[in-house]
Every structure is written in structure tokens, then in C-alpha cells.
Structure 1
Amino acid sequence: MSSQRYTPEFKDEAVRQVLDRGYPVADVAERLGVSAHSLYKWVKAVKPDDTEQRANELVEAKSEILKLRARLRRTEEERDIPKKGREVLRSTARVKYQFINDHRAMFKTAMMCRVLRASRSGFYAWLHKPLSDRAIEDRRLLALIRDSYAASDGVYGYLRVYADLQEAGETCGKHRVARIMRENRIKALRGYKAPRHIVGRPSIIAPNRLNREFTVARPDQVWVTDITYIRTWQGWLYLAVVVDLYARKVVGWSMKPTLGREVVLNALLMAVWRRKPARRVLVHSDQGTQFGSDDWRRFCREHNLEPSMSRRGNCWDNAVVESFFSSLKKERIKKRVYKTRDLARADIFDYIEAFYNRTRRHSHLGGISPEAFEQASS
């Protein structure tokens, strides 16, 4: 039978039996009554086009697989970026830029910018200028803040440091100073708690003429005095001070190894000698035995001083001098035990005369020192 007797449709179906269904050529030829040689020719005539189509399909499949693999790899990277920078997601742009720069060897820059929702152009601009103008200014202010803090031996908080910066001509705000100090863990060194409020009986020796009126109109109107204890390896050192309420200035002081009346008399004598008051001065103290002695009352009469006493055990009646002792112990002594009394005397003298009276900013005086306040009002 000649091959010319078979229609093109017959040939196509015979070829499909071989190519699509996978039957052997000999079996298909036998079933259809076609010579195997003719069927081979039909298959060979169709197979190149089919092979090309199959090759194209294979290329498309491989391309799709590559795309899926790339998408999977990108998805895994996008999943891993938040794992490493979870705390960065809600941070500022500059924090995100720093994270991106630190992980450029691990992840692609464009992907990190997309996942972290950061500007790609902003990141490259940040590479040329990592710090903002405000951050650069904060660094400059930090150096000035550290200088002020060190000059106060670590006792200044942000308000007094802010006053120092204002005096130096800086125009920053106090809240900015507080933030910079907080971020750099700079805070005033404190060591003692505030005294408890205790109410006691009035004195029978002298009434409480001051009655907690701690604000006065002129110098040498009211002096307050008291004694405190300083620990040394040689034993206690007793410090008595006389403070003028007008400028909160220590106008008299004395330090002795024993708690006799001489320590308070010497402090009061220094105050009289230095101030030479022209008018009668009210001298307020607690009910310690030194202030109730005959020598104390006689000294007050001879130098035109009028005694006044707090209620027993009530430190608030003499709060100003108690506040001075608290500042001394928090800012200078700091729970330290001096090796000798001489070392303690030298350090306390430096605090009173060089720092407290002349340099230390006092909140009651508007942030200036007692010496500066007196000079400004004179």
C-alpha cells in the first residue's frame, strides 16, 4: 500500500500514538497496517518541530524555577532582616541607616531599605554625613556639660549645669541639658537621705523667734547655727557653722575634736568678727546644750545678738543650716571616712570658703553663689 493513500489527518494521529502515548513504532505500524519504515518517516518529519516546542517548554520551566528560587531566597532574606533588627523597625531613620550599614555584607542594601521602610537615597546621603547638625551640637554641649559637672566635683544637677552654660553664653534649653545628661548617665552624686519630720516641745531658754521665716530683707538680720559630726579614723570632728539667711552664706565656722561650747562660740565669734553687724542680729539654733550654756547667752548679750531656739527634735525649724550640712555631706564628704582630722579640716575648709560661698550655685538665690548674690545686692 502506497503512503500516498494516507491522509494528513491519519498520519498525524499515527504519529501521536508514537510521540504522545509512547507506543513503539513497530506496534503502532502493525496495528494500523502501516509499514514501520513509513511510520518512522512520518515521525521524523514531525519530531523536529515537537522537539523544538518541548525544548521551549523546558526553557520556560527552568526560567520559572529560577524565578521561584529567587523569590524564595528574597522572602527568606526579608524574613531574616527583622529577626536581626527587630528593635530597629520603630527606631529613627539614622538608627536604621546604621543597621543597614552594619549588615551590607549580609543583605542587599535595597532589600534592607524596603523591609525597614528607609529611604535608599537618604541612606547614601547618611553615609557621607552620619551625624545630624543637632547631634553634632549635642556632642559640643556634652563637652561643656562635663566641664561644668567636673568643676562642681560631681554635685551639680542639670539645673545648675544649665545655669553654667547660660553664663557662658550658650542658648540651649534646660530640658536639652537634662536629656544629654540622662543619655550619658551624668547625674549629681548624692549620699544621704533627707531628715525625718519630728515635732517637739518649744525651748524654755529662748522662744522660737524665727518661726521658720527663712527669707529676710537684708544681710546680718538673721543668722542660723548648728553642729554636725564628721567621721575620721582618729575619731569625730565636730563642725559648727553660722549661716546668714539673706544670702545663705556661711559667715562663721569652727572645727574641734571635742563637742564643747568652744566650737559654737568660736564659730559665732568668727561671724561677728567678719560681719561686724551694726544692728541687732537674731541668732537661731536648736536646743543643744552648747546653745543653752551661760557662756553662749553672755556672748550674745555682749555682742548685741538675740537668741532664738527651735522646738526640741524638730529639724525643720532650723532647715537652712540642716540643708547646708546635707549639701556638704552629699557633695563633698559622700560617706567618706577621712584618715585624719587635718585632712577633714582642709577638705571642709575648701568646700565652705572656695566652693560653697564663692562658686556653688544656690537654687534659693536664683542660681548664683552667695558671694555673687551679696555683691549684686550691695
Structure 2
Amino acid sequence: MIDYVRTHAPRFGAEPILTVLSEHGIGVAPSTYYAHHARGFGPSVRELDDAYAANELYDIWKRNRRLYGRRKLWKAALRAGIPIGRDRVERLMKLAGISGVKRGKRKTITTASDPKAARHPDHVKRQWAWPSRPDQWWVADFTYVWTIAGFCYVSFITDVFSRRILGWRVMTSKTTTLVLSALEQSLFTRRRTNVEFVTTGLLHHSDAGTQGGFNRSSQHSEMRSADGTTSGMV
């Protein structure tokens, strides 16, 4: 608006223009205009100070992988010897167009239950506290972890008796390979120390998710052991 007044002031005069603008709800004080006029319509000392400070904050934010929000950026600026207030940091972050990472705002679903799908019987019957031996029950599940690069999905299989994670796999997508790889690693873990390990009497338990391929591969498949026997998996 100052530039508009400056452009038309030689023809109409500055104060008449400011009066008309004020009548239309655009208030620009004459003292503001003349202050700009006195310094040649350049930036004010405060504007220059803000510009320098915003550049320094941007450099700190960039050095910290563009993660810092207002509080951490403010503390980092103080450690760097920049005397600045937290509220000013917030204002300059908006001026520079930067923001911190917002955690806990993303949501994904790893188990999509289908009430119409066939549900396999629960042979464990929720008696998790009473396993009598290792390799009696293997429990399978998968979850997700948010990273800077995006979501990663983690599948794992745990022996209920020992509470040991026998196999796990991390992938960037929810596929059949995610759960089958964890199962294959679990078998390898047991056979690495016991080449005669068989799956007879072993019960594999997972939830009732129905993502593509999971219902068959991880909840109701058959696992053939080294001696040719098979054991049902729930």
C-alpha cells in the first residue's frame, strides 16, 4: 500500500490519498508513510533484522534435517548464540515458510477384519499364560512404524513359551511376502540349532485380518516339516 501511495502522490498528494484510503477501511497512518519516505522507501531496521534472523533460523532448521519445530528451533538458536524469543521464532518460521515434523498425526490400519469371511477356530482359546513347552504355540502379528522415509511394516513371530521373537521382516508394503518371510525365518532359526526340528504339534496363531493373501498364507496354511509330516496352522 505504501508503494501505491508513493506512485500516485506526485499527482494527488500523499495525504489526500491516505484520507480516501482511510474512508474505505484501509488505514495507513501518515507517519508511517513519511517514515518510509525518510529512509528512501527501503526496508526498516526491524524488517532487516527479521530477514537476517529468519535466514539464521532457516540454516539451523536445515542442518537439523528440517525436523525442528518452534521449541527445539528456539533452543537450538540460543545454543548457537542467537538472542531471540520463542514467540519471535514462531513468527519468523511462518515468514520463512518452515515448520517442524508433526508426530502422531498419521494413522494406518494393519488389520482389516471382514465379518463375512470364514473364521478359523481358535485352538489356543486365549490361554496364553499356560504354555507347557517351547514350540507349542507360535504367535504371528505385524504392525507399522513411521519413519522419515514413510511407513514401514514389521511382521514377526514369537514363541509363546520363551517369549522369543523367532523371525521378523520389515517391508514398505503389506504383502503376503511380509508374513511368509517371517515364518520362513522362524523355521530357519529353529533348524539352525537343530537340523531335526519338525513342526509336529506346533500351533501357529494369528489374528483375523483379511488383507489380500494374508487369510490363506498366515492364518490357515499348512507347513511341511523336514520329515514330511504336516501340522495345521490357525
The structure with more radius of gyration = 1
What TM-score comes out, normalization by structure 2 length?
0.41
What TM-score comes out, normalization by structure 1 length?
0.27
Q: Which has the higher helix share?
A: 1
